[in-house]
Chains A and B, each alone.
Chain A
Amino acid sequence: MKRLLTGNEAIAEGVIESGVEVITGYPGTPSSEVILNLKSMQNKADFRPQHIEWSINEKVALEIAAGAAWAGKRALVTMKMSGLNVAADSLVSIAYSGCRGGLVIFVADDPGAHAGMAEQDSRHYARLMIIPMLDLASQQEGLDYMKLAFELSEKIGGPIFLRSTTDISHVASDVEIGNRLNLEKREIFLEKDITRYTKAASSWCIAQHKDAINRLKQALDYTDNYLSEHGIRVNEMSLDEKIKEGVIYSGAVEGNFKEAIKRYNLKLSWLKIGLIHPLPEERIKRFLEKVERVLILEELDPFIETEVRRIASQMNKSVDIWGKFNKDFLPWVGGYSFREIKKGLETFLGKVFESEQDSRIRLKAKEIEVKRTTSFCVGCPHRGAYFALNKAIKKLKYKKDEIIITGDIGCTILGMNKPFESCWTEIAMGASIGLAQGFKWAGIEKPVIATIGDSTFFHAGIPPLINAIYQKVPLTVIILDNGWTAMTGFEENPGTLAFDNKEDTKRVDIREICQGCGVEDLKVIDPYKPEEAINTIIKAIKYPGVSVVLSRQECALQAKRRKVNFAKYRVDIKKCTGCRVCLNSVGCPAMVFHPAEEKGRPYMEITMDCFGCGICKFDCPTGAIEEIKDGK
C-alpha cells in the first residue's frame, strides 16, 4: 500500500515497523516530526512502545536511549544537527562501548539553513565517532533505512547514524508501507562488563577503540550489497563500459540528478552511495577503473569527494575528478536545487542542456517583491515581555544601542525583529547567559541583559546561571516562560505542566530552580500587564547582582487550542486618529491599518484574530483601544 508521507513520517513508520521500544529526543527543525508523529500514533495503529519522551536535552536523550539499548531493547534518539553537538560528548564514548539492543541516532541537517542555525555537515561526526552512517536520498529510504539501521546495529553490536536533510524530511512523496517485524517483547539483558562499559583503564579504552573500528568493516560487509524490502540498494552502481563519464552522488541530490538524467536524456555511469561511512572503497575503485572523468555530487562539505580523491591517488590510473575542490565550481554552502545540479552537469559535460530564463526577470521580481518579516504571533506573551523591556531601558534613560541584550534559541529570538529590535546575539542553546557574563568581564559597565525561553533554560541555561551567581556577575536574566517548546512544534518540557494537566509527569518549576541556584533577586511578571512588568524590570536592571525576571504566560497558540479565552480588544474609531503608535510599538498581526484613501480618514482596526493580551492599549495616546466587555 502506498501513502503520501513526508520523510519524517516515513521514518516514523520505519520505527513502528522495527518494533522500537524506547524513543527519546529533543525537538529541532527539521527533525521534530519523527517523534511528534510517533507520539500521535502511540496506542493507536497498534503501536505500543515501552516509552516515548521529549527529553530535557539531546545528551540526556541519547544516554536514556543508550541505557535501554544496553539492556537489550531497541532504542531510538532523534535530534537536529546542532543537537548532535550537545550529545557528542556521550556519543563518542557510547560508540566505543557499542551496544546490545539496536541503537539508532537520527540526525537531520539543514542545507540552506531554512530554519536558521549554523549550516553544519554532520557527516563528519560519523568519521570522528567511528559510527556507520546511512544518508537518505528519498522518503522511501526513510522507512527502509530505519529498519536496516536497527538490523545493522544489532548485527555489529554498535550504534548507527541515520542522517536526513530538510529536502527529505519535510517533503512528502508516495511511500510504500512495509511489513511490521513480529518482535516478541525483548528480554531484559543484564551484562556487567567494566572492560566494555567503563573507560577506567587505558587497555580497555584501546580495546574498545579497536572494536569500534572493526564494527565499521562489518557494517560495510552487511550493507554493500543490501537490497531493501522495496528494492532499494544502499550502494548502487550503473556502469556502461562505453561511457567515459561518471557521477558519484549521495543523499538528497538524487532527486534532482535523476530529474536531469530523464529531462535531458543524459548517458552517464553513476554510483550512488547510501552508507557514507565507511565508504565502499572497493566499489569506488571498480567504478573509477571504468570511467575517465567523474563528477561528485553531494551537498555541503566535500566529504565523499575528499575520500574519492584519496582512493584515486592510490590507483595506477589517472581519473579526472570534478567537485568542490575545483575553483568556482560546485558550492560548499546551501542546498543544491535543480539549477545547481544542472549547471554542474553542464559544465562537467561541456554543453548547455537548456537555456535559462532572462535573469532580468528574476532581478526585477526580487527588486519589487514584498518583504514579510516574521514577528510574534497574535497574543504572544513574548511581545509583552520585550515591550516592557524596551520601555524599562528607555525609562532608565539608556539609549537602545548601548544596552546589550543577548538572545537565545527559540521563539524568543524574534525579539531581534521589528518592532522591538532588542536582541543582539543568538549562538546556541543557553548561550545567552554565558555570553552576557563575557560582556560584563570585558568591562562593560552599563547593564547587560540575557533573554531566554523556558525550554532553552532547562536545556542548557542552568549551568551558566549558576556560574554567574558563583562569580557574582551583575546581570539580568529574563526567562520568557510560555510553558511550551513552541517554535519546533509545541512540544512539552518539564515546565509545561503548569498549563497542561497530565498525570504521568511531575512539573519542575523554574522559579524553584532559580531559588535553588541561589538567585537572590527573583521576580515573576505577567507580560500581559505592562505597567507592573516595566517597573519590575527596571528594579531588576538596577539590582547590583544577578537578577532574574520570570515572565509567565502560556504560549498564545497553545492557550487558544486549549480554549483559554481573554476578553478581546477593539478600536473606537471615533477616538482613533490613525497615528499608528500602537502598530509601531507592538506590531500585532491582528491589527489592520486603513489609510485615509479608504474612508476619508485613517484609522486602525483590531480584527477578530485578537487574543486579548491588552498590550496595544498601553501606548495609544487617545485611549481608543478598549476591552470588549461582555461581548459589547
Chain B
Amino acid sequence: MIPIIVNGTPRSVDATPDTPLLWVLRDNLGLTGTKFGCGMAQCGACTVHLNGAPVRACMTPVSAAAGQKITTIEGAQGKAVKALQDAWVKLDVPQCGYCQSGQIMSAAALLAGNPQPTDADIDTALDGNLCRCATYQRIRAAVHQAARTMRG
C-alpha cells in the first residue's frame, strides 16, 4: 500500500510502485478528470499538481508521489483555478474538451508564478499541452482574461 494525499485527503493505494500516478488516480481512485493522451509526457492531458507544481502524471510513478500532496482538476481550488474556469466558460474555450483539464492545471501553475503573462509566456507554459481541436487562440485569450480577473 502506498500513501498519497489527493486533493487534501490522505489515501492509501494498492498499486505496484511503478504504476504511473495517472492510473492510480483514474483506476484506483476513480478520479477520471485527469486524462490519458499519450503516456509519454508529450501531450499534457494528464497534468496534475505535485506539491503545487505541474507534473505529467503519466510519467510519474506513484512511488515518487508517496506521502506527497497531489491536486487534480477535481480538487483544484483557489483564485487562479476559479478565474480560469470562469474564463474558459465565458469564452467557450472547449471543443471536445478532452485536453482541457490539463490545460487548466498548466495554466493555473503559470498564473501562480506570473500574474500578468504575455502571449509568449502563455505559449511557453502551455506548449506541452496539446489540443487536437486547436482551441489555442481561445486558451490564450482565456488565460489573459483570468489574469485580469485575478488582478481585480
A and B bind: no
